Amino acid sequence: MQARNPQKIPLAHAGPINDALLEQVIFAARDAQNNEVSHDAGTLLIMCAAPLLEELLQYRRKMEVIADLANTANVVLLRPDTGQ
């Protein structure tokens, strides 16, 4: 028998990922590489993967901008110094 008015249950989220949780994710990922991951560790990996990858992508994009700004070869002087 199907429910006529099913309640929607929100999906679980990892919440803030602090250093301790990040270490747990790293250990779970290493275990998963060896095919030794538990159900709970697998769930942790799935819950944390998207937020961690999004943070990594944002960090890389920011570092790319910083590297471009710090690269003086990209600077074109409007009034080059003529030594006068």
User: How many CB atoms neighbour CB 65 within 10 A?
Assistant: 10
Q: How far is the C-alpha of 48 from the C-alpha of 15, rounded, in Å?
A: 9
Low-confidence ranges of the chain (pLDDT < 70): 1-6, 11, 74, 80-84
Q: pTM score, two decimals? A: 0.64
Question: What's the rounded Cα separation, in Å, for the pair 47 and 80?
Answer: 54
Q: What is the DSSP string of 15-70?
A: ----HHHHHHHHHHHHHHHTT---HHHHHHHHHHHHHHHHHHHHHHHHHHHHHHHH
Query: pLDDT at position 15, please?
Result: 79
pLDDT of residue 69: 77
